[in-house]
Amino acid sequence: MCGLVGIVGQEPVNQALYDALTVLQHRGQDAAGIMTDDSGRLRVRKSNGLVRDVFQERHMLKLGGNVGLGHVRYPTAGSATVSEAQPFYVNSPYGICLAHNGNLVNAEDLKRLVTQHDHRHLNTDSDSETLLNVFAHEAVALAHPQAASVVGHDTGGVLATMLQHRERVVDRLVDRFLADDSDESAHMSYLR
């Protein structure tokens, strides 16, 4: 069980994210993290502990930007190390971050696929980091034909491309990870 918050605003969101995480603190007391997009630079502060202990004024001042994610963690998978505090970040493609609540039932299979087939590096045992790398790999596969339309760190363009082609992304994930297991494929139909 974890607590998640995401805010897109017209003014800095760091304080609103902090306030939301304090309200969500009952969902996880192990770790807390905030990531913001500050004019194309992703800023992050995360550590083990309660929200009030992880974020001091000096940390909050560095979390500029009008877009952000917050996470409080109660570990049900992986370990309780600071490296597994969320949100997670991967720089390719485009710089993508993820905060996740839940457990992946096929996490070990996905880890093998991500590391052996996709040649991506995982820093933790967290299934959330694995999920982020699956998403990043699929974003690259989807964006290559349209690379000219995605400029630099245009996260809005990347998101628009992903949303526009979400059915293709889901179909690729179902085909790739669930193969011919029709019972499992039925569980993925809610994504369409």
Catalytic residues: 2
Say which amino acid occupies 101.
N
Q: Which two tokens stand for residue 13?
A: 């969101």
Burial class of residue 87, CB neighbours in 10 A (0-12, 13-18, 19+): buried
**How many CA atoms are closer than 13 Å to the CA of 190, on its beta-carbon side?**
2
Q: How far apart are CA 129 and CA 74, in angstroms?
A: 15
> Which contiguous run of DSSP H or E holds residue 111?
helix 107-112
